[in-house]
Amino acid sequence: MNRHILAICAFLFAGLGISKAQRADLYTLESPYQRYTHNLATLRWLGAVPLGSITDGYVDKPSFANYSLSVEWVFRNMPLSAGLEAGKYYFEQRYPRAIYTVGQNEVSAVKTSTYTAVPLTGLIKYHFLGTNARLSPYVQVNIGAHINTYTDYFGILADQKKQTTLGFGGGAGLKYFFKNDGPVGLDVAVRYDQNTFKYGYITNGVGTLAGSVGLFYRWW
């Protein structure tokens, strides 16, 4: 009798050991984000200041009406991602009533200077601690096109120029996943963008320095 009881106990303990080993194997599997190339989308809000010749009598005030959306392909077993980004910068400044020259005429008006840029760029990122670290610093470079709209309002009159030019830039940031191997997290970054637009007061292109806060979501 005792011999049978001992045999049954030995069988149960062996089964328990196998079950624990199987669970351990399951827990040590890499996440899908490590095993496969996956996608990541980030929506950002940006506070930006204009730089360069745009600040020489046109617009020199910071703007908080800026945003961007990027979609990246995150490579497997590499600290790299690449993708596309679109966004919008908007700057505006109002000047007091004065006499201004518009074309061949002089007008007395309140002047409102505005500038809009819509960047459409490709990007490459390098992630220093890999793409799946919970706290992941990175650097990036961007290059593509900027769709520029320069509009100087003099009351109801306006001097306007629209043009698409080359744009490029770079930045550094930090991603934070809300939980290990989770799909959602926070992205904070500082970036610089430059384009070659020239018109009116803007004689040597437009630069922008921006800080951003964003949320990202990844899937595979």
Tokens found for residue 125: 């990122």
Tokens found for residue 186: 């926070």
Rounded to whole angstroms, the Cα distance separating 44 from 172 reads: 14
137 plus 190 within the same structural domain: yes
72 plus 96 within the same structural domain: yes
14 plus 118 within the same structural domain: no
60 plus 144 within the same structural domain: yes
CATH code of the domain covering residue 202: 2.40.160.20
66 plus 81 within the same structural domain: yes
pLDDT at 12: 44
Higher pLDDT, 81 or 100: 81
The tally of domains found in the chain comes to 2
9 plus 117 within the same structural domain: no
| Domain of 18, in residue numbers | 1-30
- pLDDT of 73 higher than 90: yes
24 plus 62 within the same structural domain: no
pTM of the predicted model as reported, rounded to 2 decimal places: 0.83
Give the model confidence (pLDDT) of 107-159 as tens digits. Answer: 899 999 999 999 999 999 999 999 999 999 999 999 999 999 999 999 888 99
18 plus 81 within the same structural domain: no
16 plus 79 within the same structural domain: no
In three-state form (DSSP H/G/I as H, E/B as E, the rest C), the secondary structure along 1-30 is: CHHHHHHHHHHHHHHHHHHHHHHHHHHCCC
pLDDT at 26: 47
In three-state form (DSSP H/G/I as H, E/B as E, the rest C), the secondary structure along 87-144 is: EEEEEEEEEEEEEEEECCEEEEEEEEEEEEEEEEEEEEEEECCCCCCCEEEEEEEEEE
Rounded to whole angstroms, the Cα distance separating 101 from 55 reads: 19
Mean pLDDT of 75-92: 96
Give the model confidence (pLDDT) of 13-68 as tens digits. Answer: 455 454 444 454 445 667 888 888 999 999 999 999 999 999 999 999 999 999 99
The rounded mean pLDDT for the chain is 89
23 plus 116 within the same structural domain: no
63 plus 12 within the same structural domain: no
144 plus 50 within the same structural domain: yes
Higher pLDDT, 36 or 81: 81
Asked whether the beta carbons of 220 and 38 are under 8 A apart, the reply is yes
pLDDT at 28: 60
Task: Please report which confidence band the pLDDT of residue 106 belongs to, taking 50, 70 and 90 as the band edges.
Answer: confident
State how far the alpha carbon of 217 is from the alpha carbons of 8, 13, 72, 126, 136, in Å.
51, 44, 11, 18, 15
